[in-house]
Chain A
Amino acid sequence: MNISEIQHLVERDGIIFLSYGGFLSQAIISAMTEALEKEADANDIGMGISSNMFTIFIELSQNMMNYSKSKDPNCHEITPEGLILVSKDAEDNYYIQSQNIVELKDKDKIEPKLEEIQSLDNDGLKKRYRELRRSGQNTHGQGGGIGFYEIAKRCDSIEYKFSEITKNKYYFHIKTKININKKEK
């Protein structure tokens, strides 16, 4: 993503109050989460919704951070890097979005989960989340696990996109929307 695309995001989605691109570590994620807490506090966002925002933010950031750890240490192409943005528009919608580079085989793991999530309603999502959490499958790996289901439970909508860079590498972009005025599910 280049600067003009970021500019485009700002114009489309209103105010960006947190953006970060680069190496991700637990310390950086924790510092940014603290900044988000202050933002939520300053804007009088209710605790339920702000907790959802923090969880989504943490989930997306830790996903990107952990993703690189599952790679061969000699594979220098995949580093714990990513882009994360938190923004809001005039209609009290908050957007948390991230972008990182994934390999084809990881796209093949992530995409079916997101497709399934998009096909489920709130009750179905809740049920599936609990099923997966109980079964224990997919939860110990770095391939997303129940993370995307956790995100989906806590936001109003998800958009995602894979853009091909090379045959084996893709940009993975995911955008979540949270309306702060809506009654919680």
Chain B
Amino acid sequence: MTNLNIEETKYTPKINLDFEKGIVSIAGKSYPENTFEFYEPVMKWLEEYFDGNAQETTTINFEIIYFNSSSSKLFFDLFDLLEENNEKNTIIINWIYDEENESALEAGEDFQEDFETLTINLISK
């Protein structure tokens, strides 16, 4: 299994999927022209990772400044995938937001409510 790194653009986040460390980071803005195509390699990577390649603890760091509605749906699907693997793995999700960005906080709270079995930490910076 290899790591996957995607550089940040004006409308897509910086993505680092580190298999050795078990750390997934998604940081920046997210409003791709075709959201599902853009995130397809990320979802594929995660599926492969949890298919017998996962580290003891997996940390997911989300730091999204703002996003479009299809990204919102995509993140929902991503949380769904994490929830499916939550029983057999230790998964820690950090939803990182700027303390002045109430909208980003609210988005994190929504995910907490929708995925009660997942450990989602809301972290202001």
- Chain A residues close to B by CB (< 8 Å): 26, 29-30, 33-34, 46-49, 51-52, 54-55, 58-59, 62, 65, 126, 130, 133-134, 136, 139-140, 145-147, 149-150, 154, 184
Contact = CB atoms under 8 A, between A and B. Distances in A.
16 contacts: A26-B32, A30-B31, A46-B100, A47-B103, A48-B104, A51-B65, A51-B103, A51-B104, A58-B68, A59-B68, A65-B33, A130-B114, A136-B73, A146-B73, A147-B69, A150-B72
Contacts of B103: 47-49, 51-52, 55, 154, 184
Given A47-B100, A51-B65, A55-B67, A26 B11 contact: yes
B65 A133 contact: no
A133 B101 contact: no
B67 to A, nearest CB: 7
B66 interface: yes
Nearest to B77: A136
B112 to A, nearest CB: 12
B110 A130 contact: yes
Interface residues of B, number: 26
Across chains A and B, which 6 residue pairs bring their CB atoms closest together, nearest first?
A48-B102, A150-B69, A47-B101, A26-B33, A51-B66, A47-B100
Contacts of A126: 110
